[in-house]
Structure 1
Amino acid sequence: MTETARADEAGPIASDVVPGIGTVLAGITMVALLVPVRRGVDDPIVLAGVGFALAAVLTFLVRRHAGLERRIGGPIAAGSSVLVVLLAGYALNQGVTAPAALPTGSVSIPVVFVAFVTAGLAAAMGVADYYGITPTGLKRRSLQVVSLSAVGLAGLLATPVVIAILAIPIVPLLEPLSTFEEAVFTQVSMAIGAMLVTAGYLAMTDRDLSFIDLRRPTLRELGWIVGGLFVLFGALFAISTLMQSAGVESADHSTTQRAQDNPELMLILAPLAILIIGPFEELLYRNVIQKSLYETFSRPGAVAVASVIFAAVHVLAYATAGIGAVIASLGTIFGLSIVLGTIYERTDNLLVPALIHGVYNAVTFVSLYFTYG
């Protein structure tokens, strides 16, 4: 772990509070998964999820009351909860949602999705317990995750705001916008939005431009770029193959629909991916969010948390599909983000993951052109 993210002092309070929170979260998970069972669903995936949730509950309880070593109990609780996340996600993908109406009666929520979320939080508690995180440390980390998630959301929302502002003087001059002009206008707005959010974050946290890890790549880093591309495409192939073999359905990115309607647009987006999309997404989600997480998390932990944020902000791009398909697609995004985050963590040079990300997107856009062109 890094010096700023070393384990907190694990005292009696830490030994009680974190496993206690984990017990509650794992308990909610188990109860949520029992809902479809009580409704007659006998899917072995759901039943296995209940079993692993129960294992997490018991482990947290034994950790809290029987003095089980945290180096043993933490991994068991975290591992059991991660398995529940995978099983609940798979159940959602297969259509097992168990909707339940809220007190208002007009809105219902998929209870299995509740289990999916609470199991993920329980897994985090297992990791926190393993490292002996105190309540104060847990609060500090939670607040930072929330604040940096807000930064990521601001980066997402900044684009339409910038588009609306720039459209006032620009659109009347170019109207009607051609496909090329619209694509460039949108991506330039995204870049401006990312820069504004980054500048605002640096100002609010009393940082300057030295926080941005941008420099000419060394020969070793050029090797990371080449190798990273192979690893990224290899990871995509492995994840896709695994999902297909398991019968998991994923959602199409909104860009796929645009490619079906106008395949020539992909040839415009390909160079923009290298020049704008890759660099500015990596600026915000890797250099700003992931690097800031180094202050309170271990570097591997920061990579994982930043990847969760990165995947979450892509939800709108897949929102036209069902919740299970969206989760599958976000799982793919999470896996690819882990690769990019690890490469950034190893090089501390924004240019490396930016080029990998940009080239990856460009190749994807060109393949869509040949698919639908």
Structure 2
Amino acid sequence: METQSDVARPDSGVREMFRSVGSAVGLAALGVIAAFVSIVVVNPLFAIIEVEWTLFGELLDNYIVQPGFGLVAACYIWWRDDYTPLDRIQIPSVEGVAWIGLIPVGYEVTVRAVTPVLPMIGLSHGAHSGIVTGRVFLNHPEIIVPGLVVMFVVMAPMEEILYRGVVHDALEPAIGSPGRVLVGGLLFGGMHLFLSGGVVSMLLTSIFGVLAAGGYERTQNLTVPIIAHAGHWLIAPF
């Protein structure tokens, strides 16, 4: 015989699932809002640096939204004093190293497969605007060290701690592993709809988001998506 608690349990699970997804969507939306605020606040500061060191200032100009992501992540970590994604920044295992390679390569293979089809449906895909590639470092070796620090130690961690560490954490209480990977990846892509512009950017970066979320879910190591993300910035803008 079913008890009252047995009957109520499925409804409770559904509510918990919607609560988790809602929290993740809210955090991702806060990231977008904070990114726009970051553009307004940080851009003048980077402009001052550009006056003193033109090349480094131009490099920083490509990463004016990430401080906003970092602020949201920091506020979440402060609010959730029982959880910090920073504990999940660890030396990658062999599987983690494999994921670091798979994430950008898988994304690039997908982009190259999809791009020729886009004009057939009235769409097109261009490079992710403004991201610095290794070619810039080859032409200006004097900014290699500060540039790599900015990409690998500051900006990519800010973005990945928010979208993998924080948003992923919000999904953990009520959604299984495949759901976390899918929803987290789609939220990452949705952010690009507003900040990169265009449905194509959203769709393609959702693929990157799913791959990065998959690597994080498998390894529980934030170093994996951080290095993969910054490494992709380095070799090919998306």
Structure 1 contact 254–317 (Cα < 8 Å) conserved: no
Distance 1:302 1:230, change over 3 A: closer
SS at match of 1:313: helix
Alpha-carbon distance between aligned partners in 2 of 1:335 and 1:231, rounded to the nearest angstrom: 9
- 1:277-314 per-residue CA deviation (whole Å, 9 max, x = no partner) reads 32221111001111221111001111111111100000
Give the structure 2 partner of residue 144 of structure 1. Answer: 20
Residue 280, structure 1, aligned to residue 158, structure 2? yes
Aligned residues between the structures: 224
Paired residue type of 2:235: V
Structure 2 contact 46–60 (Cα < 8 Å) conserved: no
Alpha-carbon distance between aligned partners in 2 of 1:352 and 1:173, rounded to the nearest angstrom: 31
- 1:2-54 per-residue CA deviation (whole Å, 9 max, x = no partner) reads xxxxxxx985x9xxxxxxxxxxxxxxxxxxxxxxxxxxxxxxxxxxxxxxxxx
Distance 1:192 1:294, change over 3 A: same
Alpha-carbon distance between aligned partners in 2 of 1:173 and 1:340, rounded to the nearest angstrom: 32
Paired residue type of 1:202: I
- 1:139-158 per-residue CA deviation (whole Å, 9 max, x = no partner) reads 33223323322222222332
SS at match of 2:236: helix
Q: TM-score, normalised by structure 1?
A: 0.50
* 2:116 aligned to which of 230, 236, 244: 244
* 1:239 CA displacement: 4.7
Residue 202, structure 1, aligned to residue 68, structure 2? no
* 1:349 aligned to which of 217, 221, 230: 221
SS at match of 2:187: helix
Structure of higher CA gyration radius? 1
SS at match of 2:56: helix
Within-5 A mapping of 1:134-283: 134-165=10-41, 175=51, 178-184=54-60, 187=63, 190-209=65-84, 211-218=85-92, 221-230=93-102, 232-245=104-117, 247-248=120-121, 249-253=123-127, 255=129, 264=136, 271=148, 272-283=150-161
Distance 1:10 1:338, change over 3 A: farther
Distance 1:183 1:157, change over 3 A: farther
* 2:212 aligned to which of 327, 340, 361: 340
Alpha-carbon distance between aligned partners in 2 of 1:339 and 1:176, rounded to the nearest angstrom: 39
Distance 1:237 1:161, change over 3 A: same
Paired residue type of 2:30: A
* 1:138 CA displacement: 2.7
Q: TM-score, normalised by structure 2?
A: 0.74
* 1:332 CA displacement: 1.7
- How well do the aligned residues superpose, as a CA RMSD in angstroms? 3.7
Gaps spanning 5+ residues in structure 1: where? 1-8, 14-132, 320-325, 369-373
Deviates more, 1:327-336 or 1:269-278: 269-278
Give the structure 2 partner of residue 113 of structure 1. Answer: none
SS at match of 1:255: coil
Distance 1:250 1:173, change over 3 A: closer
Alpha-carbon distance between aligned partners in 1 of 2:117 and 2:100, rounded to the nearest angstrom: 25
Alpha-carbon distance between aligned partners in 2 of 1:149 and 1:280, rounded to the nearest angstrom: 18
SS at match of 2:204: helix
Alpha-carbon distance between aligned partners in 2 of 1:226 and 1:276, rounded to the nearest angstrom: 23
Gaps spanning 5+ residues in structure 2: where? none
